[in-house]
Amino acid sequence: MSKETYNHNIKCSICGTSLTDFYINYPGAVCDECDQRAVIGSGRKPRHWSHADDGDNPVFVGRIRCWRYYKFGGWITMRESVRCRTYDEFVDSLIGGRRKRKQRRRPGKAGQP
Ligand SMILES: [Zn+2]
């Protein structure tokens, strides 16, 4: 079996096309085709600094806000499920969505009253 086998249980969160097993760990993953339409707020293409595994966030596919996980010289684009202001918030929302919500995060941790 090749790595490129499509898993019909995993679908692009925007267009619904089947994705490969690779995306199983990435909730809200976006397919390559949708990802290619991504722009940032000003309408230009998102930048990517592969040497730093960093780049622009969030990105927009049409009007859908997505966040890119920059890793291994590339990235995975994931659709936002709850409104997030920062990438860290987005990561929290992913973890919160997968685990049982036992403890609520208190607003304002370090340095906040
Ligand atoms: Zn798609």
**Which tens digits make up the pLDDT trace of 6-40?**
998 999 999 999 999 999 999 999 999 999 999 99
Least-confidence region, from 25-29, 73-77, 95-99: 95-99
In the reported structure, the alpha carbon of residue 74 is separated from the centroid of ligand 1 by a whole-number distance in angstroms of: 18
Other Cβ atoms less than 10 A from the Cβ of 11: the count is 16
Contact of 75 with 69, CB cutoff 8 Å: yes
Tokens of 103: 């403890």
Compute the radius of gyration of the chain from its Cα atoms: 15
Residue with tokens 């010289």: 73
pLDDT of residue 111: 56
pLDDT of residue 39: 98
List Cβ neighbours of 65 (8 Å cut-off, separation of 6 or more). Answer: 58, 59, 79, 80, 83
- Amino acid at residue number 71: K
pLDDT of residue 1: 47
pLDDT at 43 over 60: yes
In the reported structure, the alpha carbon of residue 109 is separated from the centroid of ligand 1 by a whole-number distance in angstroms of: 36
